[in-house]
Structure 1
Amino acid sequence: MQQPTHSLVVVDMGIDTHQEPVVYMRRDCHVCKAEGFNASRRVVLSYGDCSLIATLNVTSTGVLKQDQVGLSKIAMQRLKVKSGDRLCIQHAPVLASLGLLRKKIFGNKLTRAEFKDIIQDISTHGYRDMEIASFLTICAGGRLDIEEIISLTQAMVESGKRLSWPGHERIFDKHCIGGLPGNRTTPIVVAIVSAAGHIIPKTSSRAITSPAGTADTMGALTNVSLKMADIQAVVAKTCGCLAWGGAVNLSPADDLLIRLERVLDLDGEGQLIASVLSKKIAAGSTHALIDIPVGDTAKVRTRTDAERLASLFTRVGSACNIRIRCVITDGSKPVGYGIGPVEEARDLLSVLQCQKSAPQDLRERALLLAAELLDLAENSGLDEAMDKARSLLDSGRAYQQFMAIIAAQGGLKSLPQAHFHHDQHAQRNGRITAIDNRKLARLAKLAGAPFSPAAGLRLRVNVGDTIHRGQTLFRLFSDSTGELDYALQYYLSNLDIFTLEDA
């Protein structure tokens, strides 16, 4: 029997609900009474050809009229409605996949078909945030075995669109699993590898647990919200691109999961592998390089853990028909000077322009990774590949290539300046023996990064430096005094971000 539907007049509530669609109705609304709706109920909103599952919030009598329904900002956008339009509302269907979620919560293994059902319901916005958070939690902490990671990866690929590259047998990609502030090597690597004539259509996510992702940093420099046809046109012209993957719906479930991972500050092993590889496969990649930094305060703490993760990446990649090469790198300290979208953009530009003041650690990491990818492409051996990468960078060809990609994506933007900054000085003399990557990243995030592109910090020192009392440790940037003060309070409560020994 078909459910009855009721129509109500739309009111734009102007409320940002962090991408979760929310609907507001009066407690004494005739639809609430007729259908028995109450707070937190899942309902289906329909307008023309668009429909959306949303969570109901019940309001007092003074906020809305009885024949009105209020919508959050994201609900307005997805339904493509405006205030005054009339939409229909009814009960949401019961999702059978929630039973599978409970199955996994109680420690049982899920099949590929079961993962596919869960991911399909997530990608069509059937899950509320608390249910997505539950799924992320039960996938973390090594709770997925290799078969489940493969199944999850394949389910995430199948949930979205896929890019294809007719006429090209080999498509290259590169990814860093993160956890290392300032490690913005990807744009440099893409510039070098595409300058060598290899196809590398790089689509990246926004930051999950870091102060900036590649898409955030590139978004400060140029347009990264490219449609699929735009990406194909940019690659046809330049051999490469640097785009935001969320704009082309390559793995829509992953973008929804990332939004909650950011809130939870969680990046579980199985979900991380599925997230990375599903995006690579959906982008049409046949070969990918995975950078795994290892350090006491990096995402991966030990060489043993890194080797296990590399093995999982390789095995899942093989099962999904993509060749993976993993490189385990030094993750003991921050890379470069800048942390946050704009500050990291300044660093990568200085490296590509071969400026004397450019951070040499960022330059050498990018060259190492570019050489690994060139060797994967050309089977020339690492020494010859390194010589080629260095030549492409030092000759200016990589920078020319980068600017060609920028031009094809819409042109170079002017980097914004933060409204406020603060120089933090050392309180004593000493030699810096360690910097806590996690706490340093959190400091930049509390200042507003990556949501305020100009927010973050610029390091004036790094591990191994001998410093004196009163010397500047870093400059903190923010777009509000509240965030600046909040970040500074955090620093003053965590002075062990910088470990000093007597010089």
Structure 2
Amino acid sequence: MSADIGPDKGTEPTHGDSADDMLRAWRAGIDTYQEPVVYMRRDCAVCRSEGFTTQARIRLTAGSGSIVATLCVVDGPWLGHGVAGLSEAAWRALHPQPGQWITVSHAPVLDSLSHVRSKVYGHRLDAGAFRAVIGDIAAGRYSDLHLATFITACAGDHLDLDETVSLTQAMIDVGERLDWGRDMVVDKHCVGGLPGNRTTLLVVPIVAACGLTMPKTSSRAITSPAGTADTMEVLAPVDLDIGAMRRTVERTGACIVWGGSVRLSPADDVLIRVERPLDLDSEGQLVASVLSKKAAAGSTHVLIDLPVGPTAKVRSREAAQALGRRLVEVGRSIGLQVALRVTDGLQPVGRGIGPALEARDVLAVLRRQADAPDDLRQRALRLAGDILELGGAAPPGAGLRLATEVLADGRAWAKFAAICEAQGGLREVPVASHRHVVEAPSAGRVTSIDNRVLSRAAKLAGAPRAPAAGVDVHVRLGDIVRAGQPLFTLHAQAPGELAYAQQYVNARPPIFQISEAS
């Protein structure tokens, strides 16, 4: 690649423009995840005249479009003179023509960073401070360093109830808010931490088949091997815009889409982007994330599933009660009726962990296959029954019976197939080509399962980025196993990732604790 590489076509500066602050746009082809990054030579006239240094925040303008990007200064010969190299995230956000002249300037001063610094030092923030911070985050004005600072400052127990309400409301206000024209719109959410818990893909069709409206917007994985959107994407498109989402709900009464594609609570998607590598998902931010998405999606009644277990996200009944109270109180403050169900979080749900393996389990339940995982079926039926009662489709105490009938007679499967068709068509579930079976080292009874380590193994095998990757679990708590019996199987789409996951499993204490059977 020549040192003078650069596009030779583009829009020339118009009369009155100064070339001193203009460079030609070049697509560098560098994946910086979702953070816009611009690459400029150290000897670039713009860098030198403006005093730009690495990590500076730079405004880029192309025609009527403008973004703020993080600068990386280049010393090597791969970037041409007079060229601004744009990362993939920056190119998608700015949408320039190849070689188009772009104007480069200092990003505006962010007054809201004073609130972030205040929070770092342990001070409370009021509603106005949260509006300023979240407004700048949604507008893309914060670098990932700024975002990480804000997330960390709010982590743990550093947000009280009033702050959580203010953060939630600010996240709602900066995005679109759907109105379905109905008094009753239901939704559900699981706080996570329990691998394989893909009940949403069962609950939505059951509830919609009973006449309730359930426009489900879901997240991709943050710290888990699969989010609901990741698993649904194996089966049907989830990257729908609001128009397509509305058409799906009008046709079927429900949808299961990725929330990031419909710009509902857009600041949350930005925060999740940084929470994922930080592996942070604190209580106040969790509440704000969940409820801002539900309110923005037009929900009126929401059921929250709180799995509890020593290796789940919520470790104790007391912690579940505290989190549940905050969810109910914040929900009430923003106009949502929130109901709770505390569930067993001691072990994975179903057999599959990872998008394709979880999708396989969901289809088995919907199609009423004899080998479908019964724990996934029963958990989904109880949650669906709760929502049917919450939404008035079943009288108190009768929701579970109605949900069971709808699944058993095929109405749930027919509704799910209709939802998939409306979203773009039902897809075949992919299968991993590389597998490794982990066997029991001794005979005995399975007494505990480390959900966190099992999830980590699935992620190292490639999930959720590689949809067929993950873990297939073969035994459950209380099972009697013999020495050499398969406990779980690692699935990977690449041999290197399979080896990586194997090394991790071999280096850890046993994920499945086995004691002598009495």
User: Which interval holds the TM-score relative to the shorter structure?
Assistant: over 0.9
Aligned amino acid, residue 482 of structure 2? H
Distance 1:351 1:56, change over 3 A: same
- Choose 420-429 or 384-393, whichever is displaced more: 420-429
Question: Are positions 1:436 and 2:450 aligned together?
Answer: yes
Corresponding position of 1:37: 52
User: Contact conserved, 2:210 with 2:393, CA < 8 A, in 1?
Assistant: no
Structure 2 residue 42 is the aligned partner of structure 1 residue 19? no
Q: Which amino acid aligns with 1:440?
A: L
1:69 to 67, 79, 84: 84
Note if 1:137 corresponds to 2:144.
no
CA contact (8 A) 1:431 1:464 kept: yes
Partner of 2:162: 147
User: Residue 355 of structure 1 is aligned with which of 369, 372, 375?
Assistant: 369
Tell me the residue number matched to 1:126.
Answer: 141
- The whole-number CA distance in structure 2 between the counterparts of 1:153 and 1:69 is 37
Whether the 8 Å contact between 2:309 and 2:344 is mirrored in structure 1 is: yes
User: Is 1:162 paired with 2:177?
Assistant: yes
**Matched letter for residue 53 of structure 1:** V
What's 2:320 paired with? 306
| Contact 1:192-1:370 at 8 Å conserved across structures | yes
User: How far, CA to CA, are the matches of 2:148 and 2:99 in structure 1?
Assistant: 34
Shift of 1:66: 2.4
| Structure 2 residues not aligned, in runs of 5+ | 1-16
User: What's the counterpart of residue 339 of structure 2?
Assistant: 325
Q: Which of 475, 490, 493 is equivalent to 1:461?
A: 475
2:264 corresponds, among 231, 246, 250, to 250
Do 2:394 and 2:402's aligned partners in 1 also have CA atoms closer than 8 Å?
Answer: no
- Amino acid of the residue matched to residue 435 of structure 1? I
Residue 499 of structure 1, CA deviation: 0.8
SS at match of 1:210: coil
Name the stretch that deviates more: 412-421 or 320-329: 412-421
Segment of structure 1 superposing worse, 409-418 or 57-66: 57-66
Query: What's the counterpart of residue 116 of structure 2?
Result: 101
Which deviates the most, 12-21 or 312-321? 12-21
**1:391-444 Cα deviation digits (max 9, x unpaired):** 001011111111111111111111122231111212211111010111111110
Query: Which one of 154, 166, 171 corresponds to residue 185 of structure 2?
Result: 171
Distance 1:440 1:274 in 2: 28
**SS in structure 2 of the partner of residue 225 of structure 1:** coil
Deviations 1:90-129 (A, max 9, x none): 0111100111000011111101111011011111111111
Please give the alpha-carbon distance, in whole angstroms, between the structure 2 residues aligned to 1:484 and 1:434. Answer: 24
Q: Conserved in 2, the CA contact under 8 Å of 1:5 and 1:89?
A: no
Unaligned runs of 5+ residues in structure 1 are none
Corresponding residue number in structure 2 for 1:398: 412
1:193-228, Cα deviation, whole Å (9 max, x unpaired): 000000000000101111111100000000111111
**TM-score normalised per structure 1:** 0.98
Equivalent position SS for 1:127:
coil
Moved over 6 A (4+): 2-5
- 1 CA distance for matches of 2:370 and 2:444? 27
Identical-residue share of aligned pairs (%)? 50
Conserved? CA contact 1:371–1:382, under 8 Å: no
- 1:383 and 1:465 map into 2 onto residues whose CA distance is 32
Q: Which amino acid aligns with 1:431?
A: R
- The residue matched to 1:297 in structure 2 has which SS? coil
How far does the alpha carbon of each residue in 1:227-282 deviate from its partner, in whole angstroms, 9 at most, with x for none? 11111111111111011110010111100111111111110000000000000000
- Structure 2 equivalent of residue 48 of structure 1: 63
Partner of 1:486: 500
Question: Aligned-pair RMSD on alpha carbons?
Answer: 1.4
8 Å contact kept, 1:12–1:82: no
Answer with 344-353 or 375-384: which moved more. 375-384
Aligned residues: 501
Tell whether the 8 Å contact from 1:280 to 1:288 is kept in structure 2 after alignment: yes
| Residue number among 93, 98, 111 corresponding to 1:78 in the alignment | 93
AA at the equivalent of 2:195: P
